[in-house]
Structure 1
Amino acid sequence: MKKENQNSYKEKRKKAHEFESREAYLNHELEIMKFRRWRIHLPFRDFNIELEDWVPALAATIGKVVMVTAMVAVFATQFGLSPEFVAENVRYELLIAGGIFVLLFSAILNPNANLAGTHGPMIPLIPIIAAAGGHPLALGILIGVFGLALSITKGGSKLMKLTGVGVRGGLLIYLGAVGLLSQITKLEAWASSGDIGYVSFAVIGITILIYAYLAKINKRWLAIPLCSAIAGIVAFALGADFAFTTKPGLPHMNPMWWWGEDTGWQLGLPNVGHFIAVIPFAILAVAMWSPDYLGHRVFQELNYPKKAKNVLMDVDDTMTVASVRQMIGTALGGGNIASSWGTYMIPAAIAKRPIPGGAVLTALLCVLASVFGYPMDLAMWEPVLRVALIVGVFLPLLEAGMQMVRKHKDSLSAGTCIFACAFVNPVFGWAFTMLLDNLGLIGDSERAAELSWKEKLIIPGAMFIVCVVSLALVGQLPGIPGIF
């Protein structure tokens, strides 16, 4: 029986030429796969690696370099560390967390768990964390502990089920629109600083045309590699400067070097005071996970066939993987704060691919980028970076949110969510609107009537209180000074 279960995918699998279209083949692949939690999975026995898997792998590698660089650079600025430290730490994260950890957990042990990426919303809080006397190692350990507690109690999946369609749509629309405008603004600022403002206009203009055409022919999964490549070529052809500067090599592999008093972070090991200082930030980081994970799972639900239930991302298992990755990665010396890997999941869902195939390729590309160094320079170049994030993350987020808000009652919840997000931030907006929606004060009153009081008030209310208190402690509520 065990052998039959292991070989069921191989037995049900058909070759691509047996289907009328490539999409039909990819849908069939999703429908016949069935992953087993915390068991060994192998390529070509339990899943296949297709051409489409290269798309999320490329997008994830670019996103990894970009996001980890942004996060470590802010840490380095606060602690007076050099740009060489940033490059070394990013290379370390790519090798250990982006390569080995991804391959082990999301490709082999649990393909229903999304890859552990970077927690972008935490980047603006890093200066506050440092000013409060926080220590990166203490922060990473506590995030891992709190995350494991939430995943073990199945809190992540419960919160996902309690988030109505309108709230989901509003959250995605807000994140997509704000992110899109931010990336365009940053690209324009980069071009203007080099007195080549016309480059940003040309790059964005061509990107719009290519993306629109790919959407028309149902090939949006090609958007990241194609648009990024063309953006880089166009920018270089129009006079933008680019040079490879990161040489091949390996990072320091000794954790004690990273956490030494005169080496690496130059902070030494944390004490009790450091752990106390980062408690509210660790709570807030984990509280932010649920809306983030929710958005990534939605993309699978929108793009996968209805029968493909067995390959959907498991929110609780993803939290477990992110928590373990956070503790191990930080203990080894990495400066990343983990979350669900959006620049992987979104293009993977659009390309109709499950998690493990692209995870294998992502691990390979991250290791190669770390060892060779030069690909890091290319991924971090402004035209490539901004266009990859626009077409790979923010435009799909915006489109997915708009697809979800079809009914008038859902649009009311979505509008309130967008308003609340703009007033404070997406964490507050999600928690506040979920509470109102579940109480039936906005949105679908029939849905609210079917919920128990625990689902209406107790769980959403507790989540709202946790989010508000955490935001207040770290000074993220408008007009209210933070304690830390």
Structure 2
Amino acid sequence: MTCLRCSRTGGRVCVFFNNYKLTPMTNTNETTYQELHRPSSEFARRQDYLDYELSIMNPKRWGINLPYRDYRFELEDWVPAVAATIGKIVMAAAVVGAFAGPLGLPDSFVIENARFEMIIAAVLFVILFSGFLNPRANLAGTHGPLIPLIPLIVASGGHPMALGILIGVLGLMLGVFRGGSLLARLTSDGVAGGLLLYLGFIGVTSQIASLYSWAEGHGVAHIAFVVVLANVIMYAYLEHLGKKWLAIPLGCLLAGVIAFALGAPFQFSTEPGLPNMNPAYWWGEDTGWQLGLPGPAEFMAVLPFAVLAVAMWSPDFLGHRIFQKINYPQTAKKVLMEIDDTMVIASGRQVVGTLLGGGNLTSSWGTYMVPAAIARRPIPAGAVLTGVLCIAAAIIGYPMDLAVWPPVLSIALIVGVYIPLLEAGMQMTREGKTSQSAAIVVFGSALVNPVFGWSLTMLLDNMGIIGDKKRSQELSRTDRWGIPAITFGILVTVMALIGMLPGIPAIMESFRVLQ
């Protein structure tokens, strides 16, 4: 058999091009990645080469994966690496800052602990696990949706170490018993698409509002309008060229240059150096967090919040995997993110990071996975680059100031995460059956939060009340209503305990008053 593109004969791999669309025919069970790899010069388009690379990769789960033997570094890998580093600086500082405010800790503590967290994550988990030991697991990032609840956690007597350990333990149980993939399997395209639509829309509007608030606070409201408008035009043009993977670096550069040129205030303030690496310092009674070690009461106080945090993982992890499936070729099944493996690694990262003194709350790394999927790149190479950039940013210090500058931060999140989520949600909800479920997800999420909307709609959808009734009939009784009902019941109970149901006082607080 002769390849129509490269004229090779007799090989195990032959690539046929039909109107520049690539369809690789491979037998990866008998052939290694090294043997299947072909130089990019043999392909008509860069996209064809990237799709082919995704199709021939077969990374080992819980084994040794080495660069150039099992995967390669490409220029596109810098896109998710830069985006993830910016996102990590922002989110880690936001979580630690949310704890530091109610605890009365200074801003210097926030930067110091965030730098410490970045080094822990990069060395022990991002590079080691996602880069070498299990490239099927997404990077362990930061649990953004839990940030608004942190002041309530502190007010309830919660302790950051107790919360981190419980989240890690519960997440490990869910991952080991494959609960994450089970919930993902029970979530239809309509439910998942509606969740992506809601998260994308809320994210875009909140970042634009945040950018305007910052600009108005400095008396330069026009800068926010010019920055956003310029990036809308840039994103549309990149869409036209088929180069959306460039949106984050170009968007951040454009936002920074325009804002600075128009007079927006900015200065570097974080000096180079290493943070304190001693866990005893961070968990001392008079140093670091100034809290000492937690006792049984602190663990009980954070238990409902830990349950809710881990429950939020499933829709978050599911959304990232679905985003890969939408952007990758259909033949790239062996590089898709493993939800349960990601939960196991995220749980380990949570426990280790917490015990060492960090304040980060872990989840799947969205600011990495979304740009990586758009750039058509697998997890490992970008993970190694992300780890290197995080270590460099933490030690140098100055990049942290630039990454958290509102024009750069907001644009990075808008063009790199939230607009792609909107696009993916729209693709998944084009049919009438899926749009019914999507509408209920949005409705329920707006009523309470995305966890409530997801769990309620999953129950209604699987029971056949809305959505694809044929799909419901093919499910077992347990999958149709047993597991979804139990999941919804547990989550509503937890939300009622901590006061997340609108208009209903927190049951925990009511018991505390009675006592």
TM-score (normalised: structure 2): 0.92
Partner of 2:214 in structure 1? 190
Identity %: 60
Distance (whole Å) between structure 2 residues aligned to residue 94 and residue 144 of structure 1: 18
In structure 2, runs of 5+ residues without a counterpart are: 1-27, 510-515
CA offsets 1:10-34 (integer angstroms, 9 cap, x no match): 1110000001110010011001111
Distance (whole Å) between structure 1 residues aligned to residue 490 and residue 335 of structure 2: 32
CA offsets 1:218-237 (integer angstroms, 9 cap, x no match): 11110001001110000000
Q: Which one has a larger percent helix, Structure 1 or Structure 2? A: 1
Partner of 2:162 in structure 1? 138
Task: Note the C-alpha offset of 1:5.
Answer: 7.6
Match of 1:297 among 321, 340, 355: 321
Task: Note the C-alpha offset of 1:6.
Answer: 11
Question: Is the contact between residue 6 and residue 46 of structure 1 (CA under 8 Å) also seen in structure 2?
Answer: no
Aligned partner of 1:403: which letter? Q
Task: Note the C-alpha offset of 1:98.
Answer: 3.2
Match of 1:67 among 77, 91, 109: 91
Match of 1:259 among 276, 283, 295: 283
Aligned residues: 481
Partner of 1:443 in structure 2? 467
Match of 1:125 among 114, 130, 149: 149
Aligned partner of 2:256: which letter? G
In structure 1, runs of 5+ residues without a counterpart are: none
The 5 A counterparts of 1:265-280 are 265-280=289-304
Please tell me whether residue 233 in structure 1 is matched to residue 233 in structure 2: no
Partner of 2:248 in structure 1? 224
Task: Note the C-alpha offset of 1:479.
Answer: 1.0
Distance (whole Å) between structure 2 residues aligned to residue 97 and residue 79 of structure 1: 24
CA offsets 1:209-251 (integer angstroms, 9 cap, x no match): 0000011111111000100111000000000011110000000
Distance (whole Å) between structure 2 residues aligned to residue 116 and residue 12 of structure 1: 30
Match of 1:345 among 369, 386, 397: 369
Aligned partner of 1:152: which letter? V
Distance (whole Å) between structure 1 residues aligned to residue 309 and residue 122 of structure 2: 20
Partner of 2:500 in structure 1? 476
Aligned partner of 1:415: which letter? A
Q: Higher RCO, 1 or 2 (CA under 8 Å, sep at least 6)? A: 1
Distance (whole Å) between structure 1 residues aligned to residue 444 and residue 497 of structure 2: 19
The 5 A counterparts of 1:166-205 are 166-205=190-229
SS at match of 2:32: helix
Task: Note the C-alpha offset of 1:100.
Answer: 3.5
Distance (whole Å) between structure 1 residues aligned to residue 443 and residue 280 of structure 2: 46
Distance (whole Å) between structure 2 residues aligned to residue 24 and residue 253 of structure 1: 45
Task: Note the C-alpha offset of 1:78.
Answer: 1.2
Aligned partner of 2:131: which letter? A
Partner of 1:366 in structure 2? 390
Distance (whole Å) between structure 1 residues aligned to residue 102 and residue 122 of structure 2: 25
Please tell me whether residue 399 in structure 1 is matched to residue 415 in structure 2: no
Match of 1:98 among 108, 117, 122: 122
TM-score (normalised: structure 1): 0.98
Partner of 1:319 in structure 2? 343
Aligned partner of 1:347: which letter? P
Match of 2:449 among 425, 435, 439: 425
Please tell me whether residue 114 in structure 1 is matched to residue 141 in structure 2: no
Aligned partner of 1:384: which letter? V
Partner of 2:20 in structure 1? none
Residue 6 to residue 445, structure 1, CA distance change in 2 (3 Å): closer
Task: Note the C-alpha offset of 1:99.
Answer: 3.9
Distance (whole Å) between structure 2 residues aligned to residue 7 and residue 62 of structure 1: 38
Aligned partner of 1:190: which letter? W
Aligned partner of 2:126: which letter? V
Task: Note the C-alpha offset of 1:467.
Answer: 1.0
Please tell me whether residue 23 in structure 1 is matched to residue 47 in structure 2: yes
SS at match of 1:147: helix
CA offsets 1:172-220 (integer angstroms, 9 cap, x no match): 0000001100000000010000000110010000000000001111111
